[in-house]
Amino acid sequence: MASNQPPYRSSDHALIWLAAGIVAVVLFGCMLLAGVGILVMSPVNARQTTAPAAPMVVNETVRPELPAPVIIAPPEDGIDYESAVLATVYDQVNPSVVNISVLGDPHNTLPDEMIPEGVEPGELFVISSGSGFVWDQDGHIVTNNHVVEGADLIQVTFNDGTASIAELVGTDVDSDLAVIQIDPAGYALRPIRLGALEDIYVGMRVVAIGNPFGLEGTLTSGIVSATGRSIPARASFSIPGSIQTDAAINPGNSGGPLLNERGELIGVNAQIRSEERANSGVGFAIPVNIVARVVPGLIADGEYSHAYIGISGQTYSPICAEDLGIAPEVRGALVVDVLRNTPAARAGLRGGRDASDTAYPEICPQRIGGDLITAIDDQPVTKFDDILYYLSSNTSPGDVVTLTILRNGELRTVDVTLAARPSRL
């Protein structure tokens, strides 16, 4: 599958009733009662994303709904609304966020030049650290796979300084998610609340809480600067639908929550794009809909199976219209390669077979004649990532999807029975 170049690694809205004669003090009080409500009352349609949200897979008996957020009263000299919101989110969610220290043999995980002097093979040493958050009352904690990779011993530290040893429950390299677990006895665990993907929009205020550079309980804020990004997972695969934010994300934030202004999880902070491995205003979070699908599978089975179709391709550009013999106004995803013994091959999808002499090799495929996918299960496909996103958000191995394809100038449909994504290609 196509992927990007890898980087370094409600509460209820207050109803403000305006009536003649209400003084400004009352109006201000009503605004504060909004607590962690939205900062800007945008129209509902401004919050929609182009991709449908997957159903949340949440066991309410295991993850009970948290009580309503506690509204922080302003001091006598007043407090601005945005500060009240950020302070409330922090007060509500910081107890759910943990610091994770991973011990392992650095000889097995780190380059030679990064191995501390004097550390002998087999000797445990802190090889990585990151963030995580409480998922349920059973002691399950979610973080990134790359945070706990290579762990021999995992320590979890809560915001009050108490610590516990955690066991690894399951990992998924393709979503870069992992679940660890502590013995919950004696801990006042506070599970995080889940937000909804359809509520996320570019420009909305977001908050990240984590442990950048080991500095526990750090809050940073910003906005959603883009949605629908694909970020690298393992070789040849991507994590589609990811959230881009300008909230400061630094090493140590990995695995921590990205939150909306109601203190609900909308993503798991995972990557930054920077030449210096520090915040440059471009960070990425794994979207909540993928988290809600993968985590229950990791808890139940220790692993998660992603649906797999077996093609590689690219978004169709009208620049390539003449080369490919496709009208420039058409939208879709070109199938460049169909891998052998895959669902796509068994369904008869076609990749490019004839060499192209295109004048635009950086934009147009080097081989022509492949199918153009215009829809999946009647959902329009305008770019290649739409296929990846639909599969990740809505399907499982064994499901059948119907592709609408353009082949030799004619539209037709092809049914594809999905398989589990292989561990290697």
Active site amino acids: 146, 176, 254
Longest dimension (CA), the chain: 77
Q: Which residue has the tokens 């109803």?
A: 15
Q: Which amino acid is at 409?
A: G
- Residue 209 · residue 269 · CB < 8 Å: no
Q: Which pair of structure tokens corresponds to residue 218? A: 């750090």
- CA–CA separation, 363 and 218 (whole Å): 42
Residue from 69, 58, 51 nearest 11 by CA: 69
Q: Strand 307-308 relative to strand 283-287: parallel, antiparallel, unpaired?
A: unpaired
Residue 224 · residue 207 · CB < 8 Å? no
Estimate the share of the chain in helix, then strand, then coil, as percent rounded to the nearest 5: 20, 30, 50
**C-alpha distances in Å from residue 412, one per residue of 9, 325, 371:** 42, 17, 10
For residue 172, give the amino acid letter: D
Dump the DSSP string for 74-102. PPTT---HHHHHHHHHHHHHGGGEEEEEE
Site of tokens 């909004």: 34
> Would you state the structure tokens that stand for residue 384, as one six-digit string?
């290649």
Burial class (CB in 10 A: 0-12, 13-18, 19+), 270: buried
In contact, 153 and 103? CB cutoff 8 Å? yes
